[in-house]
């Protein structure tokens, strides 16, 4: 964990004297807390992490997760666990412990992107005169390239998603609802070893497959429907994200050609992916393929995003992304074509950016598949 703390400080132009991450109540939990404190389970509501430039990390845990915290830190001398008292008779005990730890510290970095306003006011009242520094960029830059342990967890999450993706065609049957298929996907991921889903599973049938961020409802699958399934697994806090598109029953020549075009667009983007290439070059490579087809302008979102402790982990590839790809990034490559009122196709894979190119982490077949009704 020491190396991760030091990595965040290195990303900051004018590093503060300390970094402080404070969790509120779920879902307002700072994912960067778990970047610094690599603990595989537990909610850690109300917990605080304080890091110093020498790599030292102090974690204030509630008694609810004290054992989990101690187990995670037992082989790491850079981490000190404090079990913060939670007595209603003394609600200021955590503030006093933090004040003692931070005695003499004048500049403290906070993750403004994930800190609640309530916690900010609490800290500012506790330490009047402190200079609060926005360290969000440092956390984002540190997290965007993964270490070996992170890659292995994402790889495992991607393997789970890939395994489930291969099973989906066998579950397609006339009359099944979008919600039922989404439930099967999530159940299968848990059976395969996932800690849970990494985001709300998207399943869209027919015209609803043309809505990229659609939530599944009670629409039933019918012959002639296009199908988009976008899902991901959590594995020890790390995410995967995969989309596969299918066609059910009655043949549709146009949707078959749409699928082939999206597959070609993804291949064109992958051809240019390597360290040092601006993200927009990959996006534009895919967009050129789609815009040269009959469906010009129907690729309506960015090509992809980084994946890690969050399913959208701080980097995106769009038409204006100048930031270059870096070795060690894990990103999605997900072109799509969406025809309102008709149907859509999206193909999404997770890849690891390597020294000379990329490696697929998701492995489900991505070619056109027409499932018989």
- If we measure between CA atoms, which residue out of 204, 202, 197, 203 comes closest to residue 232? 197
The DSSP 8-state label assigned to residue 366 in this structure reads -
The pLDDT of residue 87 is above 90: no
Residues paired with 82 in a beta bridge: 60
Which pLDDT value is given to residue 262? 98
Average pLDDT over residues 147-155: 98
The pLDDT of residue 190 is above 70: yes
296, 300, 302, 308 alpha-carbon torsion, rounded to 10°: -130
Average pLDDT over residues 185-190: 98
Average pLDDT over residues 270-281: 98
2-144 is classed CATH 2.30.30.100: no
Which pLDDT value is given to residue 92? 73
The pLDDT of residue 202 is above 90: yes
* pLDDT band at residue 68 under the 50/70/90 scheme: very high
Q: Is 269 left (phi over 0), alpha (psi -120 to 50) or beta?
A: alpha
Cβ neighbours of residue 50 under 8 Å, at least 6 residues apart? 18, 19, 20, 21, 57, 58, 60, 98, 101, 102
d(CA 353, CA 9): 24
Which pLDDT value is given to residue 84? 75
* pLDDT band at residue 94 under the 50/70/90 scheme: confident
The pLDDT of residue 258 is above 60: yes
Overall pTM surpassing 0.85 (yes/no): yes
Q: What is the pLDDT of residues 2-43, one digit of tens each?
A: 999 999 999 999 999 999 999 999 999 999 999 999 998 999
Examine domains 2-144 and 148-371 and report if their fold is the same: no
Q: What is the pLDDT of residues 102-121, one digit of tens each?
A: 999 999 999 999 999 999 99
Which pLDDT value is given to residue 137? 96
> Of 3.40.50.880, 3.90.230.10, 3.40.50.970, 2.30.110.10, which CATH number belongs to 148-371?
3.90.230.10
Average pLDDT over residues 245-254: 95
Residue spans per domain, the chain: 2-144, 148-371
d(CA 231, CA 198): 8
* pLDDT band at residue 91 under the 50/70/90 scheme: low
Which pLDDT value is given to residue 162? 98
d(CA 5, CA 21): 12
**Residue 56: exposure state from Cβ atoms within 10 A (0-12, 13-18, ≥19):** middle
């Amino acid at each position: 964990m020491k190396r991760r703390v030091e990595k965040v400080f290195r990303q900051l132009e004018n590093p503060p004297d300390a970094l402080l991450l404070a969790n509120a109540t779920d879902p307002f939990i700072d994912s960067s807390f778990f970047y610094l404190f690599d603990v595989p389970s537990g909610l850690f509501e109300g917990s605080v992490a304080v890091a110093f430039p020498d790599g030292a990390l102090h974690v204030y845990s509630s008694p609810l997760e004290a054992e989990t915290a101690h187990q995670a830190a037992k082989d790491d001398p850079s981490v000190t666990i404090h079990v913060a008292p939670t007595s209603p008779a003394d609600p200021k005990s955590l503030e006093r412990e933090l004040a003692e730890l931070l005695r003499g510290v004048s500049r403290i970095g906070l993750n403004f992107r994930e800190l609640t306003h309530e916690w900010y006011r609490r800290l500012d009242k506790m330490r009047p005169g402190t200079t609060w520094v926005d360290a969000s960029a440092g956390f984002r830059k540190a997290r965007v390239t993964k270490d070996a342990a992170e890659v292995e967890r994402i790889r495992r999450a991607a393997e789970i998603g890939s395994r489930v993706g291969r099973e989906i065609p066998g579950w397609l049957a006339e009359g099944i609802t979008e919600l039922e298929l989404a439930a099967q996907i999530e159940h299968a991921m848990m059976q395969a070893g996932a800690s849970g889903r990494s985001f709300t599973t998207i399943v869209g049938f027919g015209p609803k497959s043309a809505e990229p961020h659609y939530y599944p409802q009670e629409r039933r699958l019918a012959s002639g429907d296009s199908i988009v399934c976008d899902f991901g697994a959590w594995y020890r806090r790390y995410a995967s994200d995969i989309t596969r598109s299918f066609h059910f029953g009655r043949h549709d020549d146009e949707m078959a050609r749409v699928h082939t075009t999206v597959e070609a667009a993804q291949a064109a983007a992958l051809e240019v992916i390597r360290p040092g290439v601006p993200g927009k070059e990959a996006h534009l490579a895919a967009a050129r393929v789609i815009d040269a087809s009959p469906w010009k302008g129907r690729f309506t979102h960015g090509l992809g995003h980084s994946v890690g402790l969050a399913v959208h982990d701080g980097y995106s590839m769009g038409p204006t992304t100048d930031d270059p790809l870096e070795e060690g990034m894990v990103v999605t490559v997900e072109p799509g074509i969406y025809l309102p009122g008709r149907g859509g196709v999206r193909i999404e894979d997770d890849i690891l950016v390597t020294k000379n190119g990329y490696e697929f982490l998701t492995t489900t077949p991505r070619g056109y598949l027409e499932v018989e009704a």
